[in-house]
Chains A and B, each alone.
Chain A
Amino acid sequence: MKSRQGAALDRKKFFADPVMVVTIVLLTVLLALFILYPLAMLLLDSVYVRETTLVPLESVLSGEAEASYGQDKATGSRTVKVVNNKKTEQAISLDDLSGSYGFLFASNGRVLKEGEEVDPAATFVKVNASYWTADAFPRIFADYTFNRAFFNTLQLGMITSFGAVIVGLLFAYVDCYVRVKSRVVKKMFDVVSTLPVVSPPFVLSLSMILLFGRGGLITRQLLGIYDSDVYGLSGIAIVQILTFFPVCYMMLKGLLKNIDPSMEEAARNMGAGRWKVFTTVTLPLMLPGLGNAFLVTFIESVADFANPMMIGGSYDTLATTIYLRITGGSYDTTGAAAMAVVLLGITLVLFLIQKYYLEAKTAATLTGKASRARVLIEDRSVRVPLTAICSAVSAFVIMMYIAIPFGALFKLWGRDYSLSLKWFQQLFRDDGFKAFGDSLLLSLIASPITALLSMIISYLVVKKKFRGKAFIEFVSMLAMAVPGTVLGVGYIRGFAGGVFRTGFLQGIYGTGLILVIVFVVRSLPVGTRSGISALRQIDKSIEESAYDLGAGSAKVFTSVTLPLIKDSFLSGLVTTFVRSITAISAIILLVTPRYLLITCRINEFAEKGAYGVACAYATILIAIVYAAIVLMNLCIKYFGTSRQLRRKESD
Chain B
Amino acid sequence: MAGKEKKGVRLDHISKIYTDPKTGKPFYAVNDVSLDIEPGSFVTLLGPSGCGKTTTLRMIAGFESPDAGEIYLGQEAINALTPNKRDTAMVFQSYALFPHYNVFDNVAYGLKLRKVPKAEIEKRVAAILELVELSGMESRMTNQLSGGQQQRVALARAMVVEPSVLLFDEPLSNLDAKLRVSMRTEIRRIQQTLGITAVYVTHDQAEAMAISDKIIIMNKGVVAQMGTSEEIYHHPNSEFVADFIGEVNFLSGDIIEAQGDSCTLSIAGHPVQVANPDGFPVGKQCKVVLRPEAGILGDSGALPCKVVLSCFMGAYQNYHVMVGDTLVKLADYCPVGRKVYRVGDTAYLSFREGCVHML
| Interface residues of A, Cβ cutoff 8 Å to B | 1-10, 12-13, 16-17, 539, 541-542, 544-552, 555, 559-560, 563-564, 641, 644-645, 648-649, 651
Contact A548 B80 (CB under 8 A): no
Of A548, A559, A648, which is within 8 A of B84 by CB? A548
Nearest CB of A to B235, in Å:
33
Contact present for A549 and B109 (CB under 8 Å): yes
Query: What chain B residues lie within 8 Å of A542 (beta carbons)?
Result: 94, 96-99
Tell me, yes or no, whether B251 is within 8 Å of chain A by CB.
no
Point out the residues of chain B lying under 8 angstroms from A544, CB to CB.
63, 83, 90, 92, 96
Contact B161 A549 (CB under 8 A): yes
A-B contact pairs, 11 of them (CB 8 A): A1-B26, A4-B67, A7-B67, A9-B80, A13-B62, A541-B94, A548-B84, A549-B157, A549-B158, A550-B161, A552-B82
**Contact among B15, B80, B86, B98 with A546 in the assembled complex (CB-CB below 8 Å):** B98
**In the assembled complex, which residues on chain A have CB atoms less than 8 Å from the CB atom of B82?**
13, 16-17, 547, 552
Expressed in whole angstroms, the minimum distance between the Cβ of A194 and any Cβ of chain B is 28
Q: Does B110 contact A (CB under 8 A)?
A: yes
Residues in B neighbouring A559, C-beta threshold 8 A: 109
Which of A13, A544, A549 is most buried by chain B, counting CB atoms within 10 A of its CB? A549
In the assembled complex, B93 has its CB within 8 A of some CB on chain A: yes
Given A12-B80, A16-B85, A645-B143, answer yes or no on A555-B90 (Cβ-Cβ < 8 Å): no
CA distance A542 to B101 in the complex (A): 12
A649 & B144 in contact (Cβ 8 Å cutoff): yes
**Residue pair A547, B100 in contact (C-beta under 8 Å):** no
Of all chain A residues, the one with the shortest Cβ separation from B26 is: A1
Q: Are A555 and B113 in contact (CB under 8 A)?
A: yes
B323 within 8 Å of A by Cβ?
Answer: no
Residues on B close to A: CB < 8 A? 15-17, 26, 28, 61-69, 79-86, 88-90, 92-94, 96-100, 109-110, 113-114, 141, 143-144, 154, 157-158, 161
Residues of A within 8 A of B61 (CB): 548
Q: What residues on B are CB-neighbors of A8 within 8 Å?
A: 65
- CB contacts (< 8 Å) of B86 on chain A: these are 548
| Contact A9-B66, Cβ < 8 Å, known A544-B83, A548-B88 | yes
The 4 closest A-B pairs by CB, nearest first: A9-B65, A549-B110, A648-B141, A541-B96
Count A/B pairs, Cβ under 8 Å.
Answer: 115
Q: Specify which chain A residues have a CB less than 8 angstroms from the CB of B99 in the assembled complex.
A: 542, 564, 641, 645
Output the nearest chain A residue to B82 by Cβ-Cβ distance: A13
Contacting residues, chain A, for B79 (C-beta < 8 A): 9
- Distance between B13 CB and nearest chain A CB, rounded to angstroms: 11
Q: A548 and B83 in contact (CB under 8 A), knowing A6-B64, A541-B96, A645-B99?
A: yes
Instruction: Among A2, A4, A550, A552, find the residue whose CB has the most chain B CB atoms closer than 10 A.
Output: A550
With A9-B65, A17-B82, A549-B157 already in contact, 19 other A-B pairs whose C-beta atoms are closer than 8 Å: A2-B15, A6-B16, A9-B66, A9-B79, A16-B80, A16-B81, A16-B82, A541-B93, A541-B94, A546-B98, A547-B63, A547-B82, A549-B89, A549-B113, A551-B113, A555-B113, A563-B100, A641-B99, A645-B99
A552 adjacent to B96 (CB under 8 Å): no
B67→A5 contact, CB < 8 A: yes
B15 A13 Cβ-Cβ under 8 A: no
Contact between A5 and B68 (Cβ–Cβ < 8 Å)? Answer: yes
Question: Contacts A645-B99, A649-B143 known; A5 to B65 CB distance under 8 Å?
Answer: yes
Out of B62, B100, B158, which one reaches A564, CB within 8 Å?
B100
B116 CB, min distance to chain A CBs, angstroms: 11
Q: A549-B89, A645-B143 are in contact. Are A4 and B17 (CB under 8 A)?
A: yes
Q: In whole angstroms, how far apart are the Cα atoms of A43 and B327 in the complex?
A: 78
A1 CB contacts on chain B under 8 angstroms: 17, 26, 28, 67
Also in contact, A5 and B144, with CB within 8 A (given A544-B90, A550-B161): no
A553 to chain B, nearest CB (A): 9
Q: Which residues of B contact A551 (CB under 8 A)?
A: 84, 109, 113
- Name which of B63, B84, B85, B99 has the most chain A CB atoms within 10 A of its CB: B84
User: Complex: how many Å from CA A651 to CA B154?
Assistant: 22
Of A3, A6, A644, A645, which contacts B66 at CB under 8 A? Answer: A6
A79 to B291, CA, bound (A): 107
A17 CA to B98 CA, complexed, in Å: 23
The chain B residue sitting closest to A12, CB to CB, is: B80
Closest to A9 in B: B65
The reply to whether B92 and A550 contact each other, CB–CB distance below 8 Å, is: no
- In the bound assembly, the distance between CA atoms of A578 and B105 in angstroms comes to 36
Q: Which residue of A lies closest to B102 (CB)?
A: A648
